[in-house]
Amino acid sequence: MAKWHQLTSAAVLNELRTDAASGLTESEAEFRLNQYGHNELAGTGTKSSWQILWEQLKALMVMILIVAATVSALLGDYKDAVAIGAIVVLNALLGFSQEYRAEKAIAALKKLAIPSVKVRRGGHVKEISASHLVPGDIVLLEAGNLLPADCRLLQSADLQTHEATLTGESEPIRKITLTIEAADVALGDRRNMAFLGTFITAGRGEGVVTETGMRTELGRIASLIQTVAPESTPLQRRLDHLGKILALAALALVLLIFALGLIRGEELKLLFLTAVSIGVAAVPEGLPAVVSIALTLGAQRMLRRNVLIRKLPAVETLGSITVICSDKTGTLTENRMTATILKTAERTLDVADHLQKNGTEKVEVVGQPDVALLVAGGALCNDAFLSSEEDSGSSMPIGDPTETALVAVATHFGLMKTDLERALERVAEIPFTSERKRMTTIHRLPSDLERIPAGLATALRGCRSAYVAFTKGAVDSLLAISTSVWVDGKLEFLSQTKLDQLADSNNALAKSGMRVLGIGFRCLDLLEDLSDSANERDLTFVGMVGMIDPPRPAVASAVARCKAAGIRPIVITGDHPLTAQYVAREVGIAGECPVLLGTALEHCSEAEIEGLVESTTIYARVSPEHKLKIVRALQNRGQIVAMTGDGVNDAPALRKADIGVAMGARGTDVAKETADMVLLDDNFATIVAAVEEGRVIYDNVRKFVRYILATNSGEIWLMLAAPFLGMPLPLLPLQILWMNLVTDGLPAVALGVEPAEEDTMRRPPRPPSESLFSRGLGAYVLWVGLLIAVLSLGTGYWYWRHSDSHWQTMLFTTLTLSQMAHVLAVRSENQSLFHIGILSNRALLAAVILTVLLQLALIYAPALQVLFRTAALSFRDLVLSIAISSVVFWAVEVEKWYCRHKAAGSI
Ligand code: ATP
């Protein structure tokens, strides 16, 4: 069979049994989905349950324990062998359940990250998940879309794609719909096809899906992509490193204890098992796993706060953010535009006032041709529309809010967009770009102007040409290409005085926080060159529309939290400097501070920009390339930057930022694909919420590390010191394993869900290079470890000296209970447990209670007594053990009290 690119569009549609105008029916699409499977690349999914279980079992520590159990069994000690086996199984189950939850969370996140696609099905345009596409589907494509599958193109309005992932070609490829005869054409030259893995940089088009999933061109080379190892985070790398050091230390320790034991003439089998158990105690095997679980579950929690994490390391980086660069429209404001002021050379109309006087009644603008021209131009040079709701009879604006506001205001003045378009058919367009800050549409003028609504006809009568082009955009960008202005139904030369007047009006509106759009027109006789430079010139400026867009209610408090957390919020907008200044002031980002224009960055050297970014809080009239310069300069100044973006051209800045933030509702697929996280509600407050979660997650990992290292080091000190006191081995191998793998594990996992502390957002960001042992963690591990060892060993020693047969149970119990006392105190690095509330982490409380009950079972249940060589403690001894262990809690609380008061300067 000929290849897809060799067939005509009709032949492709025929071959795929589909119809370009109505697409597949839903039932046919469902049938094909069953036949071809989901449109996904195989192998990029998540791990299966068996894989997770296998990974748990093949961990080095588990292997060593299995060897230990086997050795015990060979030496005839079946009880020990079974007990070690049971502990290994318990530990693996605990690890498995955690990993499993984390994997489920990742799978859910991945699913959410699949882009949606506009398809034609059953005669309607629908949005579906890209994974549900089947061959034969008709897809609608526009700038910013990722290609969801391989397609043969049916329509191309200047459609251009970026295909570097597939072909290495870095320049955009202009697409065509014509048939390409030759069979062996390189992928990059099959210009009537568009491929999965590429994206659309400009234009619009339609295509029919030819291949999905692994049958696509990308699918064929997918095995190459799948081999890319998942990126580990700096914290994970640091913990891996720490793990290696501790493993070496453990080896040395094991050898030392072995040697000491041999000298003292301990039994060889006991020594072997003790050495293995201490090795287990010394190596915090679970650390890297805990981090990945904490990050994943954190990402899941963030989803509940409307943040979709796309790259896991972002969760960690969020905690270090020092600057948030946010755009204005839709992020700080609601993106609910309402046109309130219309301004032409002749009059200023307060639309709100007008509405109040006239209610929702439509008003004819017969006597006001300038207003008619202004609002008609705004509605025609416009891609939004009003869709009528069949049930309610009302109409809903669809499209960009700036544009829907213009359609709405035209409707109010009796000019319906559908009527206007019928009378003045659109024949060409030059789409909006944020670099030019304007767009143009060209319309055919009817020979009979009577067909045009009256007010507008009066205005257009002077045109006497075949076409009229309307341009709308930022007033400054429009004035720059205007040569005349529309006054009293005539063109008047745009003198410098007039220009200054218009700029002043624009500034006055912008100063009150309005987005101001200018509208101009030009009469054309011929339609030749459709480039922007040929058409966007010599305009007649008609007037401007001022729109209000209220700030989002939650933003002001989020800005305050952000500042309290030592994070600088910065506004980077394409809008007018005065509008930007107004909004920044309203939400509390900046008072009367200067605004830097994007163009000012164009002539600066890197060093100059670095100087500017230090003191600038508001950037206006910025285009995407300026954003990249700002991010780079901020980073060179040592800042950790979060940057928002939504367009195709924002991708480089999003990629460069430490955290690229894309908008879920407004953002293009390309921006979302590049970003580290996506805001599902486009809200600035959500970025701040994500930063808070990021900080909490890091704090919790640190608490976990504090707890595990201090506790484990306590056990090691104790084992090391005992021989010097002349004591026999203070803990039996099974007891050590039990503590490390079961009783330590439960509370430690519960530390991962510790809620945010009061000061989480009141302290400065953590430097990303900060060592895990900074802020006194090393010293803490040392002194708490020693305290735990002294208390437990001291108790054991005293009982041993008084030849009490229960000395080992006393020591073992005191050690376990001190760990429980410690975990309660470690919940906050500086707040007292009584302040944060004992019930504020119920999972941890439950884990502590369960562990204490297990310990009591070990002491009092006869079967366990035999296995763990314990003896029932008297009530007096048990109370004493509890009292001694609680010293750890009080000691840590006193240290926190001291640090709190020292920080406050009251000591
Ligand atoms: P932000 O970066 O805060 O989201 P923005 O939406 O104002 O800002 P752009 O989309 O780059 O940024 O718009 C820049 C300017 O272009 C706007 O201030 C407005 O004057 C003009 N503009 C925006 N949308 C349109 C449009 N659909 N047609 C014509 N001009 C537009």
Q: What is the pLDDT of residues 472-498, one digit of tens each?
A: 999 999 999 999 999 888 889 999 999
Does ligand 1 lie within 6 Å of residue 261's CB atom?
no
Atom number in ligand 1 closest to CA 474: 20
Reading the block at residue 771, the tokens are 């060592």
State yes or no: is 529 an active-site residue: no
Where would I find the beta strands (DSSP E) of 508-664?
Answer: 515-524, 539-548, 568-572, 595-597, 618-620, 641-645, 659-663
**Three-state secondary-structure class, residue 48:** coil
Strand partners, 156: 205
pLDDT at 495: 92
How far away, in angstroms, is 576 Cα from ligand 1 center? 9
- C-alpha 395, offset from chain centre: 34
Please say if the pLDDT value at position 376 is more than 90.
yes
Please say if the pLDDT value at position 225 is more than 50.
no
Does ligand 1 lie within 6 Å of residue 706's CB atom?
no
For residue 229, name the pLDDT band (cuts at 50, 70, 90): very low
pLDDT at 52: 77
How far away, in angstroms, is 634 Cα from ligand 1 center? 24
CA angle 882, 886, 887 (to 5 degrees): 125
Atom number in ligand 1 closest to CA 403: 27
Please say if the pLDDT value at position 228 is more than 50.
no
pLDDT at 499: 93
Reading the block at residue 832, the tokens are 């007292």
Please say if the pLDDT value at position 276 is more than 60.
yes
Average pLDDT, the chain: 86
Q: What is the 3-state secondary structure (H, E, C) of 703-749?
A: HHHHHHHHHHHHHHHHHHHHHHCCCCCCCCHHHHHHHHHHHCHHHHH
How far away, in angstroms, is 438 Cα from ligand 1 center? 8
Please say if the pLDDT value at position 383 is more than 70.
yes
How far away, in angstroms, is 201 Cα from ligand 1 center? 18
pLDDT at 102: 76
**Three-state secondary-structure class, residue 326:** strand
Name the residue with the closest Cα to ligand 1, atom 25. Answer: 473
For residue 585, name the pLDDT band (cuts at 50, 70, 90): very high
Please choose from 406, 434, 507, 552 the residue to mutate so as to test ligand 1's pocket, defined by most ligand atoms within 8 A of CB: 434
Does ligand 1 lie within 6 Å of residue 646's CB atom?
no
pLDDT at 134: 94
For residue 424, name the pLDDT band (cuts at 50, 70, 90): very high
Q: What is the pLDDT of residues 155-210, one digit of tens each?
A: 888 888 988 877 777 788 889 888 888 888 888 889 999 999 888 988 888 999 99
> What does the pLDDT average to over 386-396?
61
Name which of 785, 767, 763, 778 is nearest 714 in CA terms: 785
**53/95 Cα distance (integer angstroms):** 9
Amino acid identity of 861?
Answer: A
Residue 231 region by backbone torsions, left for phi larger than 0, else alpha for psi between -120 and 50, else beta: beta
Please choose from 575, 644, 648 the residue to mutate so as to test ligand 1's pocket, defined by most ligand atoms within 8 A of CB: 575
Name the residue with the closest Cα to ligand 1, atom 2. Answer: 573
Please choose from 404, 517, 679 the residue to mutate so as to test ligand 1's pocket, defined by most ligand atoms within 8 A of CB: 517
DSSP H or E segment with residue 165: helix 164-167
Does ligand 1 lie within 6 Å of residue 474's CB atom?
yes
Does ligand 1 lie within 6 Å of residue 472's CB atom?
yes
Does ligand 1 lie within 6 Å of residue 575's CB atom?
yes
**Which residue in 137, 150, 327, 676 is the catalytic one?**
327
Highest mean pLDDT among 344-358, 538-552, 741-755, 794-808: 538-552
Q: What is the pLDDT of residues 608-651, one digit of tens each?
A: 999 999 999 999 999 888 999 999 999 999 999 999 998 888 88
Does ligand 1 lie within 6 Å of residue 666's CB atom?
no
Does ligand 1 lie within 6 Å of residue 433's CB atom?
no
For residue 905, name the pLDDT band (cuts at 50, 70, 90): confident
For residue 227, name the pLDDT band (cuts at 50, 70, 90): very low
> What does the pLDDT average to over 804-808?
86
Terminal alpha carbon distance of the chain: 86
Q: What is the pLDDT of residues 33-54, one digit of tens each?
A: 999 999 987 755 567 778 777 8
8 Å CB contact between 728 and 794: no
Could you tell me how many residues make up the chain? 907
For residue 231, name the pLDDT band (cuts at 50, 70, 90): low
Name the DSSP class of 570.
Answer: E
Q: What are phi and psi of 738, to 5 degrees?
A: -55, -50
Reading the block at residue 199, the tokens are 């994206």
Does ligand 1 lie within 6 Å of residue 619's CB atom?
no
pLDDT at 482: 95
| Listed range (536-550, 708-722, 875-889) with the worst mean pLDDT | 708-722
Atom number in ligand 1 closest to CA 646: 4
